[in-house]
Amino acid sequence: MRARYNGAADWYAARSRTWAEDNRDEVLGLLGPGAGRRCLDLGCGNGGYFGIVEETGRELIGLDRSSDQLRLARQRPQPVPLVEGDSVHLPFAEASFDDVLALWISTDLDDFGGTVREIARVLKPGGFFYFYGVHPCFNGPHVEYQEDGGRLAHPTYRVAGWHEPQRWWAGDGIRATVGMRHVPLAELLNAFLAAGLQLDHVVEPDAGPVPAALAIRARR
């Protein structure tokens, strides 16, 4: 299957220009210090979070399936080793990383559970998986945004996997441009448990009354 962001990387870079900075404090709070820790940024995209993660002292390697996204990541001022690869067949040996980071990728993956199993495989014993992404209850293809800031969850919440376009997918957002997968909350949490990961910390890091994001720190 063609990488979904091939041909859309420049559009995404323009749209997401401030997103990393918008989430800076929350991401740094989730990660904490990590001097010398070898960290895989899985689904790194154009490398928008590289600088923030490097502030923690971690030694980064970026992986993405989209060659178009990696083209932009290579243009970042501070070079980071980059690998083009599939998240369910990571090209790394077992116990290769102290940390694995996945930022905003759950709705792009064909196999979330398989990805988490691979993450557990490449983590060292005692290593951490940091998930920061779409809140499965209040964000995603089943959600219609309301003028008062509320969210209307449609019955399609129960539909796991890729969603067909819906009438509430207005504008030129990510849902309409590259599509979106939905991972219901139970499926998401069970993927961690099935991979043998232990949940260490969970937070809904959003300033608004209805959170758009969910962050999880899990230990191998």
pLDDT in tens, 179-211: 899 999 999 999 999 999 999 999 998 778 899
Query: Strands 213-219 and 198-203, how do they pair?
Result: antiparallel
42 is in which domain, residue-wise? 8-136+182-219
Query: What's the rounded mean pLDDT across residues 69-76?
Result: 96
Domain containing residue 34: CATH number: 3.40.50.150
Task: Give the C-alpha distances (Å, rounded to integers) separating 55 from 33, 44, 47, 72, 118.
Answer: 8, 16, 14, 21, 26
Q: Would you state the pLDDT for residue 172? A: 67
Query: What's the rounded mean pLDDT across residues 135-153?
Result: 93
Task: Please answer whether residues 192 and 199 qualify as being in contact, where contact means their C-beta atoms are separated by less than 8 angstroms.
Answer: yes
Question: 3-class DSSP state for residue 101?
Answer: strand
Residue 86 within a domain? yes
Residue 165 within a domain? no
Residue 143 within a domain? no
How many C-beta atoms surround the C-beta of residue 149 within 10 A?
A: 9
Residue 141 within a domain? no
Query: What's the rounded mean pLDDT across residues 89-112?
Result: 96
How many C-beta atoms surround the C-beta of residue 63 within 10 A?
A: 21
Number of domains in the chain: 1
User: CA torsion sign, 104 to 151 to 170 to 161?
Assistant: positive
d(CA 168, CA 105): 21
- Residue 1 pLDDT > 70: no
d(CA 52, CA 56): 7
User: Residue 29: pLDDT band by 50, 70, 90 thresholds?
Assistant: very high
Q: Which of 216, 23, 27, 214 is nearest to 136 (CA)?
A: 214
Tokens for 88, please give them.
């369910």
Residue 155 within a domain? no
Tokens for 202, please give them.
């969970």
pTM of the predicted structure, to 2 decimals: 0.95
Residue 203 within a domain? yes
Q: Which amino acid appears at position 217 of this protein?
A: R
Beta strands in 23-173 (DSSP E): 38-42, 59-64, 82-84, 97-103, 123-134, 143-145, 151-153, 161-162
Residue 18 within a domain? yes
User: Residue 171: pLDDT band by 50, 70, 90 thresholds?
Assistant: confident
Residue 177 within a domain? no
Q: pLDDT of 47-68, one tens digit each? A: 999 999 999 999 999 999 999 9
